[in-house]
Structure 1
Amino acid sequence: MHPSADFDTSSLKSYTVSTSRTNLDVRKSNWTSLWFANLIQYFCGLQMSLYFTSMWPYLLKLDPTAQLPFFGIILASFSIGQAVGSPIFGTWTQKTESFKVPVATGLVFCCVGNILYGILPTIMWEVQWLMLVSRVLIGFGAGNLSALRAYVAASSTLEDRNTAVSLATGSQVTGMLTGPILQTAFAFIGDGVRVFNTFDLDAYTSPAFVLSIVLIIMAVMIFFYFSEDYAGVIDEKKEDSDVIIPPFDRRAAVVCIFLWFVIQTIAVNIESLCSVFTIAMYNWTSHQAIVYGGYIETASCALSVSQYLVIGLTRVGKIDKRIQILFGCIVFCIYYVVLLPWPFYPESLLYNPNVTDGACTYEWCQYVPKIPFIAYILVYVLCFGIAFPYIGNSIGTLFSEVLGPRQQGTMQGVFAFFGSVGRCAAPLVTTFFFNSSGYTWVSVEMLTFLIIGALSTCIFWKQMIPLELIQKKESISNNNNHKV
C-alpha cells in the first residue's frame, strides 16, 4: 500500500501541528478518562498474579489428589485465554471505533471467572477443570488490555502520549507486582466462615469475591467516565484533513512486538522460578521462599513504580525511546550474566535428593556453584526494578507512535497476543531447562533473546521512529500562495 499520486511524497515529514487543519495542537487529553483506564489496567494486571502464591494450596485443599503437571496447565490457562481475547477485543474496538462496550464486556468475563474461582468449594465437582475454566475466563476478559492500550493512544495528544502510555504501562505492571502482596493481606482471614451455609469466605476465596464486586462497579462506571472524543486520532474520512496517514513501518512494529514478547517472557520466568530457584539455591523452605521472596519482590516493585513515575512525570521520559530500550536490555543482561555459573563463585549447593523441601534435589546441584546471596538480592531488586519500567514503557510508547494517529485496536491486539504467547510458552521451556540443567540455560536463553532484541533495535534504528505524515499537495500550494 502506497500513498496516492494526489499527494506529494517528497513532502514526507514529521507532523507540524501549526499548519494542519486536523487541529491536533488545540486538542486536549481527557485525563479523567485516562486515569480511569489506568485503574482498569491495574486490576487487569492484578489478576495475572493475585492467586500465584495461594492457588496451589487452594487446589490441594479442594482436591488432595491434584498433581503439579496439571497445575502447570492451570497456571498457563490465564495467558491462553488472554492470547485468544486480545486480538478479539482489539479488532472489536477497531471495527466499531468504540471502547466502552468491549472494555466493559472484558470486565464482565473477568468477574464471572473470579466468581467461579470463589465458589469452587461450594460446587466440589471436577474442581481442577473448573479452576482451569475460571482462569481461562479471567484471562480472556483481561484481553481487553489491548483495547485499553488503544484507548490510551487514541485519547492522548501527541504531547501527552509519553506520559499517558508510561502511566498506563506502569499501572498494569504495578498490578502484576502487587498481586502476591495483596493476596498476603487476605491471609489473616484464615479458614474464614461459611455464609448462608453455602459459600466459603476464607483466605483463598475472599480475594475473588472482592475483586468481582470491584470489576462490576468499574464495568458500570465505564459508561459514565469514558470519553470517546479521541484527541490523538486523525480520521481522514471525517475530517477536513490536509495530511494523509501513510502505512506504518512493519519492520519497526515487528521489533516492538518481539521486544514485548521478550519482557513478558522474562516476567513469567521470574514468577514461575522465583520460589523454586531460592529453595534450590539457598536451602529455603517453601514458607521461607514465599515470605522472603515477597520482601524482595516488594522492594523491586517499589523501585519499579518510582521509575514509572520518573519516566511519566519528569524530563527523563523525553529521552529517545530507542536509547531507553537499549538501556533496559543492558540492565536485564546484567542480571542474567550474574546468574551464569562462573567458576570463581566460591560456594557449592547443598545437594540432597532425599528431601522435598529446604535443599537442592536436582542432579545438576552436584556441579553447579551457588550464586552469592548478596549478588542475587542486588541484581534482582535493582535490575528488575529499573529495567522493566524503561524498556516496558518505551516499547509501549514507541509502538503507539510507530502506528501513528490512527485507530490502533487491531495492532494493539496483535501486540498483546504475542506477549501472551510468551507468557504461555516460557513456563514450559523454562521448567524443562531448570529441571534438566539448572539456571544456566535459562540465563543463556534470556540473554540470547535480549541480545537479538538489542541488535534488532540498532539495525532498524532509523525505522523505529514516530510515523511521519504526508502533507497534501494542495495544502503545500496553499501555504506557498499565502507566503507570496
Structure 2
Amino acid sequence: MDYIRRVKDLFKSQKTPFESKIESEIEHKERWRSIYIIYFTMFLISLGFSIILTGVWPYLDKLDPTAGKEFMGYIVAANPFGQMLFSPLVGWWSNKLGSIRIPVLLSLLVFTIASGTYSILELFPITQRKHWMLWTRFLVGVSSANIAACRSYLSAATTISERTKAISMISLCQVLGFIIGPALQTLAVPFGDEGIEFLKLKINMYTAPGWLNVFLSIFNFIIFLPFFFKERKIAAKEAMLKQGAKTEKETWKGIKPDYLSAWTLIVAFFVIVFNFMLLETLGSPLTMDQFAWSKADTVYYMGLLMSVGAVIACVCFAAISPLCKMFPEVKVMIWGGFLFMVLGRGVYIPWGETNPTIYNSTSRLTPFHDKLLCYNHNMNITNTFNKTKFDLNQSNLNFNESNLNLLDCNKLVELVGCPSNQKWCFTTRKMTLFQFLLGYGLTAVGYPIGVTLIQTIFSKILGTRPQGLWMGLMTGSGCFSRVLGPVFVTYIYTEYGPNWTFGITAVMMIMITVWLQIFNNRLEPKKFQEVVHDDDGEEMIEIEKLVEIKKEDVVT
C-alpha cells in the first residue's frame, strides 16, 4: 500500500500547475466540457442526415414502388433545404440571445420528433408515405440548423492556438457522422426487410437507424441542460488581454475581415461539400446500376466502404495539425484537400470495357418483382374469391379454393442492374469496381482536410466578433450544395449518366482550386494591431502574425 501511495504522490508532484490570466481552472474544465458536448452535437446532426442515405432508396421503394428515383432526390434534398433556410436565422438568433442553449435545445426536440416519425411511416396510408418521408427529412434539416450556432460558439470558446485543433475535431465529428451513419445502417441489415415488432412498432433494417437517432437526440438534449453545459467564451478575453482593450467591441478593430476572402471560402465550402455529398447520395443508385447489386447488398457493402472511409478520415484529421506546422494552412488546404478531390472526381468517369447489366424497367412494377404489389395482387384475388364464393353459395354450388393463383411473395426475383428507362445504360461504359474504390479513397483523404481548413481559416479571418450570422452563411452554402446534389442525381445522372455527372463535378473542382491558388495570399490570416502600454500611455504597433497566448498563460 505504501508503494502504491508513493507512486501516486510521484504523479501528483509531476502535475503541471494550472496558470492562466484569462480563466480559472474550473472555468477551463467547464469550457472544454462544453466543447466536447458541441463535438457530440455536431456528430449527431451529421449522423441524422447520413444514417438513412444508403437505405432511403430501398425504404422508399418498399413504402411506395411508384415513387421513383426522382422523388428520392427530393427527399434527400429536403434535409439540406431545411437547414439552408434556417441556418442564418438560428445563427442570428444565437447572436441576439448571446447564448446557444435555447436554439440548440429546440432544434434537438424537432430532431427527435422527426426521427421518430420517419421510423413509423409504414403506419401511414400508402399514398401518403412518400410525402410524410419528405416532411420528416425536411424537419431533420431544420433541426440541423443548430450547426451554425455550434460553430459560432466553438470560435468564441477557443483561443487562437487552440482553434485549428478544435475545428479539426468538430470537422472530424461531422465527417464521422456522415460516414458512420451508413455503417450503422449496415449493422441494421440483420433485422431484414420485415424486421420485428416491439410495442406494436416495426423495427427493420430501414427503421432501426431512425430509432437510434431518437435515443441519441434525447441523450444530447439532457447533456445540453445547464447542469452539464456551461457556456464559457474565451476568444474575446484573449484579444482584450493582448490588445489592452477594455471591451470586446474594441478588439474587433484589431482584425478587419477581408470580405473577398470570406466569400471565396464560402464558395469553396459549397463546392467541396457538393462533391462529397453527391458521392454520398449517388453511392447506392450508382452501385446498383453499375455493379448489379441487390438492395441488401448495396446497404451492406456501402456501409462497409464508408466504415473504411471513416478510418481514413481519422488518419487525415490527425495529420492536419502536423502538416500545418510544416506548411501554411492555405497550402495544405489546396494541395492536400482540393487536389485530391479533383482527382477523385476525374477517376469516376467510367473506363470499363462493357456496358452495365440492363433490366427491363417496365417489369419492375409488377407483382412478380415487387413485394408490395405482390401482396396487393394476392389480396385482390382473395377478395374476388370471397365475393364469388358468397354469390355461388346462394345457389348451393361449391367453389374450389385450391384453384386460386396466389404468388409466393417471399420468393420474388429482384431485378438488378441498370434500368432500361435510363437510355445512357445502352451506350455508356461500365464503371469498374477498382476505379470506384480509388475515387472514394481519394475523396476520403481530400474532403476532411479541405473542409476542416476552410472553416479554420474562415474563423481566423472573421476575428473575435460574433460569428453566428457568418457561420450561418457558410453552413447555408454547404446546405445549398446538399440540396443541389440530389437534384443533380435526378436530372444529370438519371438522364445523362456518369460521364456528364463526374465530368461536370471535376470541372467545378478544378475551377475553385485554381481560384484558391490565385488568391492564396489573401487567405492568410490578417495582420492586426495590438495595443501596448508604456509610461506615456497607449500606442498602436503592427505585428506580423496573429497573437498567440504564451504557454504559461493557458494550459491546453
**Structure 1 length-normalised TM:** 0.85
Distance 1:377-1:196 versus aligned 2 partners, 3 A rule: closer
Check whether the contact 2:54–2:302 (CA below 8 A) recurs between aligned residues.
Answer: no
| Cα displacement (A) at 1:418 | 0.9
Number of positions where the alignment pairs a residue of Structure 1 with one of Structure 2:
454
The CA distance in 1 between the partners of 2:292 and 2:190, in whole Å, is 27
The CA distance in 2 between the partners of 1:143 and 1:188, in whole Å, is 33
**More deviation in 157-166 or 63-72?**
63-72
Q: AA paired with 2:116?
A: I
Q: How does 1:173-322 map to 2 (within 5 A)?
A: 173-190=175-192, 191-197=194-200, 199-222=201-224, 223-233=226-236, 234=239, 238-239=247-248, 244-312=253-321, 314=322, 316=324, 319-322=327-330
Tell me, yes or no, if structure 1 residue 444 matches structure 2 residue 503: yes
Check whether the contact 1:281–1:360 (CA below 8 A) recurs between aligned residues.
Answer: no
Partner residue in 2 for 1:392: 451
The CA distance in 2 between the partners of 1:462 and 1:186, in whole Å, is 48
**More deviation in 450-459 or 43-52?**
450-459
| Cα displacement (A) at 1:403 | 0.8
The CA distance in 2 between the partners of 1:351 and 1:417, in whole Å, is 39
Partner residue in 1 for 2:367: none
Distance 1:480-1:414 versus aligned 2 partners, 3 A rule: closer
The CA distance in 1 between the partners of 2:173 and 2:489, in whole Å, is 27
Check whether the contact 1:242–1:471 (CA below 8 A) recurs between aligned residues.
Answer: no
Secondary structure at the residue paired with 1:244? helix
Distance 1:340-1:75 versus aligned 2 partners, 3 A rule: closer
Partner residue in 2 for 1:402: 461
Q: How does 1:132-147 map to 2 (within 5 A)?
A: 132-147=134-149
Check whether the contact 1:244–1:472 (CA below 8 A) recurs between aligned residues.
Answer: no
Secondary structure at the residue paired with 1:200? strand
| Cα displacement (A) at 1:280 | 3.5
Partner residue in 2 for 1:357: 416
Q: How does 1:99-118 map to 2 (within 5 A)?
A: 99-118=100-119
Q: Deviations over 1:412-458 (max 9, x none)?
A: 00000011111101221243222333212222221222122112212
**More deviation in 278-287 or 238-247?**
238-247
Q: Deviations over 1:294-328 (max 9, x none)?
A: 3322222211122112325x455663221122111
Partner residue in 2 for 1:423: 482
Tell me, yes or no, if structure 1 residue 333 matches structure 2 residue 342: yes
Secondary structure at the residue paired with 1:347? coil
| Cα displacement (A) at 1:138 | 0.9
Secondary structure at the residue paired with 1:159? helix
Check whether the contact 2:360–2:419 (CA below 8 A) recurs between aligned residues.
Answer: no
Partner residue in 1 for 2:370: none
Partner residue in 2 for 1:150: 152
What is the root-mean-square deviation of aligned Cα atoms in Å?
3.0
Distance 1:58-1:183 versus aligned 2 partners, 3 A rule: same
**More deviation in 188-197 or 107-116?**
188-197
Q: How does 1:15-30 map to 2 (within 5 A)?
A: 30=31
Secondary structure at the residue paired with 1:160? helix
Q: AA paired with 2:440?
A: Y
Secondary structure at the residue paired with 2:358? coil
**More deviation in 181-190 or 394-403?**
181-190
The CA distance in 2 between the partners of 1:440 and 1:202, in whole Å, is 36
Check whether the contact 1:401–1:465 (CA below 8 A) recurs between aligned residues.
Answer: no
Check whether the contact 2:281–2:485 (CA below 8 A) recurs between aligned residues.
Answer: no
| Cα displacement (A) at 1:477 | 6.0
- Identity %, equivalent residues: 25
Q: AA paired with 1:263?
A: I
| Cα displacement (A) at 1:115 | 1.8
Check whether the contact 2:255–2:462 (CA below 8 A) recurs between aligned residues.
Answer: no
Distance 1:368-1:122 versus aligned 2 partners, 3 A rule: closer
Secondary structure at the residue paired with 1:218? helix
Distance 1:281-1:77 versus aligned 2 partners, 3 A rule: same
Partner residue in 1 for 2:173: 171
| Cα displacement (A) at 1:78 | 0.7
Question: For the pair shown, which has the larger CA radius of gyration, 1 or 2?
Answer: 2
Distance 1:245-1:176 versus aligned 2 partners, 3 A rule: same
What 5-or-longer segments of structure 2 have no aligned partner?
1-20, 362-414, 541-556
The CA distance in 2 between the partners of 1:152 and 1:448, in whole Å, is 34
Q: AA paired with 2:227?
A: F
| Cα displacement (A) at 1:372 | 4.1
Q: Deviations over 1:22-76 (max 9, x none)?
A: 969x996832211111011111110111112223333344445434332321121
Partner residue in 2 for 1:4: none
Partner residue in 2 for 1:32: 33
Check whether the contact 1:302–1:385 (CA below 8 A) recurs between aligned residues.
Answer: no
Q: AA paired with 1:269?
A: L
